[in-house]
Amino acid sequence: MSNSTAKLTIQQHQLELPIFESTMGEYLVDIGILGKLGIYTLDPGFKATGSCFSEICYINGEEGKLSYRGYPIEQLAEKSTYLEVAYLLFHGEKPSSTELRAMADQITNNQSLPKSTQSILDCLEAKTHPMGMLLTGVSSLSYLSNTPQSAQEIDNAQIQLIAKLPTICATIIQKVKQKPLRPPRQDLSYSANFLHQISDENLDLSTDPLYVQALDVILTLHAEHEQNASTSAVRVTASTGTNTFGAIVSGIGALWGPSHGGANEACINMLQSIGHIDNIPSFIEQVKDKSTETRLMGFGHRVYKNYDPRATIIQSLCHRILEKSTGNTLFELAKKLESIARSDEYFIQRNLYPNVDFYSGIILTAMGIPESCFTLIFALARTSGWIAHIKELFTKHPHPITRPRQCYVGSKIRDF
């Protein structure tokens, strides 16, 4: 906390509110005393509200910076695996080789699904949305953690979720594709094993280092992103004392929303609607025309005002995969649209650069993952961040149950 205060005069009250300074220099005014005076603040959507103290993730949207536990995302994507990142987020420090091996062994030994979960997933209608299936699958695992919230419960749930979520997601993907699920293998890395499970017999992507690297980077880039909608949902639910599985289900439900987790799917749908390279110029003109509802999906970002650092990382991987997929109309479209948008002054002036959703959607398509299942991969990655926030809330920076106020604008008291 800094020595400075903010002075507020409201009604008959003259208040001095403490100002907290974050590690990276942001300032937050502590307004906790207002509630004791019957005065509340209004900030719909929480655009200027800090809900907690956190040590997990830092974003500087103006400068295009993202870090996990102080490590720049560029270094993590280049030098670590997703499991190392999951360990870092959860424990606060990067693992030693012994610690990483122990975690990997625990995950390998727990990746198979209980028969009850497998039966439940098998019984779901094929037309059920993949995220609905994921909600159901994760809910069915809650018996693994039917004890009150505790440090041990959170530790156990972390291993069970990170181990079993790939198998649940692979089961759903293969159900959507109407293909058989290949059983998990204990001799493969985390990302390679997932690709093995969703690959066809005649083309096993787990044997291609480029695809394994691409998936691992996608998981790393999506593992954590501070107090977004789904993470906030997880923290709100966890503040009630529910077990970890219950809180994670809240996050999955929030991520299901198209405004949060469906951006890469929307990007692929946009490319499909364009249809052909020759249609790109007219599409670009429609985007510029304010009288139309045409939007350029996969470009720009609500938080990053300069550029999305995750997009810069994944761009080269995407291009390498596109080079291996020559002749694919969708991918040729993507390359051409990217080239035009990056050189057009209209988009340059508005900072409408390709974001991580543009590139990740293309890569996931190349992996044979249906668009309706893209958000599953987002959830698979983000679970490690969600669990880290649950642990932090319980052990490091606890606070009472989350209970926002409101500005009531309904009817005054009246007789019925």
Q: How far apart are the C-alpha atoms of 32 and 157, rounded to whole Å?
A: 33
Q: How far apart are the C-alpha atoms of 308 and 225, rounded to whole Å?
A: 12
Q: What is the dihedral of CA 388, 394, 398, 403, to 10 degrees?
A: 90
Q: Can 357 be counted among the known catalytic residues?
A: yes
Q: How far apart are the C-alpha atoms of 386 and 392, rounded to whole Å?
A: 10
Q: How far apart are the C-alpha atoms of 256 and 261, rounded to whole Å?
A: 6
Q: Which residue in 301, 319, 389, 399 is the catalytic one? A: 301
Contact 195, 214 (CB under 8 A): no
List, in order, residues 6 or more apart from 226 with CB less than 8 Å away. 54, 56, 57, 58, 59
Q: Which residue in 222, 225, 308, 357 is the catalytic one? A: 357
Q: Can 301 be counted among the known catalytic residues?
A: yes
Q: What is the dihedral of CA 247, 252, 258, 262, to 10 degrees?
A: 140
Contact 81, 188 (CB under 8 A): no
Q: What is the dihedral of CA 259, 264, 269, 271, to 10 degrees?
A: 130
Secondary structure element (H or E) that encloses residue 266, with its range = helix 263-274
Structure tokens at 390: 């649950």
List, in order, residues 6 or more apart from 415 with CB less than 8 Å away. none
Q: How far apart are the C-alpha atoms of 390 and 239, rounded to whole Å?
A: 8
Q: How far apart are the C-alpha atoms of 206 and 172, rounded to whole Å?
A: 18
Q: How far apart are the C-alpha atoms of 232 and 386, rounded to whole Å?
A: 9
Residue 335: CB atoms within 10 A of its CB come to 15
Q: Which of 323, 271, 330 is nearest to 298 (CA)?
A: 271
DSSP state of 208: -
Residue 64: CB atoms within 10 A of its CB come to 20
Residues serving a catalytic function are: 301, 357
